[in-house]
């Protein structure tokens, strides 16, 4: 069964810093990997989707990379802002979606 792990579980940074969130998965037979954002008490919003044949995707200040062979992905957030404070979840699509437990990010003004 696919297992998805996210490190760190929580992260607190001052505003303006660049940061990296990590995701690892045990089975490299995936179709895609996605990063979601979840605000407290809310559902998930898709941020970036990387297909299995792709290496990275970018959207604004966000850049996600995928190394399928090693089972790793990173989400890079540039010039962090207080509005980036949320939980970020990584999910892989194999026979179904498997989610990590998330990284809770706090950006301090």
Of 44-52, 58-66, 69-77, 78-86: span binding other proteins (CB under 8 A): 44-52
| Interaction between residue 12 and other proteins (CB under 8 A) | no
Task: Identify residues 66-105 at the interface with other proteins (CB under 8 A).
Answer: 89, 93, 96-102
Asked if 31 and 76 count as a contact pair (C-beta separation under 8 A), the reply is no
Q: Is 51 in the site for other proteins (CB under 8 A)?
A: yes
Instruction: Return the number of the residue (32 or 63) whose C-beta is nearest other proteins.
Output: 32
Q: Rule CB under 8 A: is residue 41 a binding residue for other proteins?
A: yes
């Amino acid at each position: 069964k696919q297992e998805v792990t996210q490190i760190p579980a929580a992260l607190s940074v001052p505003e303006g810093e660049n940061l990296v969130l990590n995701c690892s998965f045990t089975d490299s037979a995936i179709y895609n990997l996605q990063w979601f954002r979840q605000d407290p008490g809310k559902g998930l919003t898709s941020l970036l989707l990387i297909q299995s044949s792709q290496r990275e995707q970018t959207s604004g200040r966000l850049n996600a990379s995928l190394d399928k062979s090693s089972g790793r992905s990173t989400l890079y957030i540039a010039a962090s802002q207080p509005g980036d404070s949320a939980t970020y979840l990584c999910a892989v699509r194999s026979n179904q979606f498997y989610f990590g437990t998330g990284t809770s990010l706090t950006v301090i003004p």
